[in-house]
Amino acid sequence: MRSNRAKMRAGASLAATLPMLAGALAFGIPAAHAVDNPGRDTLAGTKPAWATAKADKGATADTAQVSARVYLAGRDAAGLAAYAKAVSDPASAAYGKYLGADQAQARFGATEAQVKAVKAWLASAGLKVTGTTQHYVSVSGDVAAAEKAFGTQLHNYTKGSRTYRAPSRTASAPESLKGAVLTVTGLDNAPHRASAKEQLPPPDSVFKNSGPFSSYYGSNTASTLPSAYGKKIPYAVEGYTGKQLRAAYGAGDYTGKGVRVAITDAYASPTIAYDAATYAKQHGDAAWKTGQLRQVLPKNYTKTEECGAAGWYGEETLDVEAVHAVAPDAQVTYVGGASCYDDDLLDSLSKVVDNHLADIVSNSWGDIEANQTPDLAAAYDQVFQFGAVEGIGFYFSSGDNGDEVANTGTKQVDTPANSAWVTAVGGTSLAVGKGDKYLWETGWGTQKAVLSADGKSWTDFPGAFTSGAGGGTSATVAQPFYQKGVVPDSLAKANNAAGNRVVPDISAIADPNTGFKVGQTQTQADGTEAYSEYRIGGTSLAAPVIAAVQALAQQAGGGKALGFANPVIYSKYGTKAYHDVTDNPTGSGLAVARVDFVNGYDATGGQVVSVRSLGKDSSLSAVKGYDDVTGVGTPAGGYISSFGRR
């Protein structure tokens, strides 16, 4: 998973972007009459929590510029959510009765009259309409015009060490619009910043893993290194391949033929076609067919330096190669965002839905729940609901920082994985043995200790927590119906007696110490660009692996779209469809040895030897049954075949 705050290099895990998402199986953000602003409907969630009286630095200058998006509620927001639930629930008579993209828009989208009325209102306030889609109307203008349009005042507030603009009270829209407005985004400008058109940078500097390696789990024992947990430990695998992952998750003869998978990330790797083809050839995956991999890209890119655009090339590469390795006949469409920020990522998701580019969508990006705001949560959930009624399922990485305490100081989940309308994918450490035999999995959570100076012991064993699968209980999203009766009350009610959404739903390989090998063109130490390979992990790996497994399951089910899959995923809980993952599957501690280049690519800067303990995910634990590291578990041999009996 990838963060817009900090870029993580390939030796650990790939992360991703963005804030937002709340509301369980709710109907977006309903309008409410404003007691102190008669004749207007409040747009809940548009005043951010950090815009407090204590942080208020006074009114924003009237001449300052604002760019905003006014999201359209459509003609039947409640009906959209209800139908999205019904077509996804096997217990409903409407299960699987999906609508086409045009049908969904005609039934639930905004009417021409609503769009016209919204545009007229915005123009009358002095704002300039800069764009219109079936989801939103974008506008620009000065602060004075924005304040007039949205019935609020914009002030400057301190947030950390920075100062940002935000509404001093919740924004509103005229009652005369009759609920046509879902929400407005962009009135606050944290952390959204304007940027000019930009060119994509060259690939990031090269990263390589140092050996020794194991070719499969346990094939190469570190006999000269100290023991851990009372025994000699194996070297980390060089990187699993598609053949090993397909065997571990019960692919059988299924290949994803006839199934369309989309991948969303920011930017686009300029060498993806070459890299994917080279990787497939070198690792025995099926050759890409003409037109099997396509890209849908924006005309221009922005915030390339701020977002670390080149770092996203590896994200796309991992996602594309992992999907193809597990589902070699699936059609893959990469939909790139113009930046790593919400507006652009929302546009990418909307492209998938509006054009029904795929039935399964893998998304290896996110942010902490504390950064979410209800206005954007409503915009995201609306896209997910439209996807559900069309038979499109979204799969999001659960995060790479465990309970987030080490990263943020606060226990919390990640978003958009916290949405009740997406499938949150957690992570495991995977052991595949000789002959591609599945051995076991633990919840992904790593502690690291380095070799002592005399080489006879591990310093401060088992060491400090470094990374692990994201999970836990949402503070904002109510418990969805499909988790009831499966998720223990101790988790569901950890933050609220009424119950909240718990993350993740399902899981797959994520630990970079038992990771996947990828191939990517990188900038070498001498400044040239060349293809090379390295081992990678993170829930950025788990999400495309599960998306690929879902493609196999859809093929097994005769090609009928799985849609929003959580109700079905939970209906199989406790069956042979899943590996029930725990942190200590062998009854004793588990660890692997690693040797890493200090400079990240060769031995000239020295090497460091460490032991990585497995199944140590911050305060989270993988236990028997549902847990907040691995959800219901990982797909077993019975998972894919069970869809052939629907």
- Residue 231 inside a domain? The answer is no
Are 168 and 154 within 8 A, CB to CB? Answer: yes
CATH number assigned to the domain comprising residue 281? 3.40.50.200
- Residue 437 inside a domain? The answer is yes
Are 632 and 626 within 8 A, CB to CB? Answer: yes
Question: Rounded to an integer, what distance in angstroms lies between the CA atom of residue 294 and that of residue 334?
Answer: 6
What is the share, in percent, of the chain residues with pLDDT greater than 90? 89
Tokens of 549: 């497994």
Are 393 and 361 within 8 A, CB to CB? Answer: yes
Question: Rounded to an integer, what distance in angstroms lies between the CA atom of residue 592 and that of residue 225?
Answer: 11
How would you list the strands of the sheet with 32-33, edge to edge?
32-33, 40-42, 172-174
The whole-number average pLDDT for the span 563-581 is: 97
Residue in the block written with tokens 């997910």: 384
- Residue 144 inside a domain? The answer is no
Report how many domains make up the chain.
1
Give me the count of residues in the chain: 646
Question: Rounded to an integer, what distance in angstroms lies between the CA atom of residue 114 and that of residue 177?
Answer: 7
- Residue 30 inside a domain? The answer is no
The tens digit of pLDDT for each residue in 164-208 reads 999 999 999 999 999 999 999 999 987 643 333 467 899 999 999
Residue in the block written with tokens 């630990």: 511
Q: What is the DSSP string of 447-488?
A: EEEEBPTTSSSBTTTT-EEEEE---EEEEEEEPPGGGTTTS-
Are 562 and 393 within 8 A, CB to CB? Answer: yes
Whole-number mean pLDDT of the chain? 92
- Residue 259 inside a domain? The answer is yes
Tokens of 128: 């300039």
Question: Rounded to an integer, what distance in angstroms lies between the CA atom of residue 49 and that of residue 55?
Answer: 11
> In terms of residue numbers, what domain contains 288?
242-645
In this predicted structure, what is the pLDDT of residue 372?
Answer: 86
Comparing 268-277, 365-374, 614-623, the range with the smallest average pLDDT is 365-374
Strand partners, 609: 595
Cβ atoms within 10 A of the Cβ of 510, count? Answer: 36
Q: In which element (H, E) is residue 607 found?
A: strand 607-613
Question: What is the sign of the dihedral through the CA atoms of 282, 284, 290 and 295?
Answer: negative
- Residue 490 inside a domain? The answer is yes
The tens digit of pLDDT for each residue in 361-402 reads 999 999 999 988 889 889 999 999 999 999 999 999 999 999
- Residue 556 inside a domain? The answer is yes
Pairing of strands 40-42, 32-33: antiparallel
Q: What is the DSSP letter of 214?
A: B
The tens digit of pLDDT for each residue in 287-311 reads 999 999 999 999 999 999 999 999 9
The tens digit of pLDDT for each residue in 336-366 reads 999 999 999 999 999 999 999 999 999 999 9
CA distances from 415 to 14, 41, 371 (A): 16, 27, 9
ω into 298 cis (within 30 of 0): no
The whole-number average pLDDT for the span 52-76 is: 96
- Residue 200 inside a domain? The answer is no
More confidently predicted of 348 and 27:
348
In this predicted structure, what is the pLDDT of residue 101?
Answer: 97
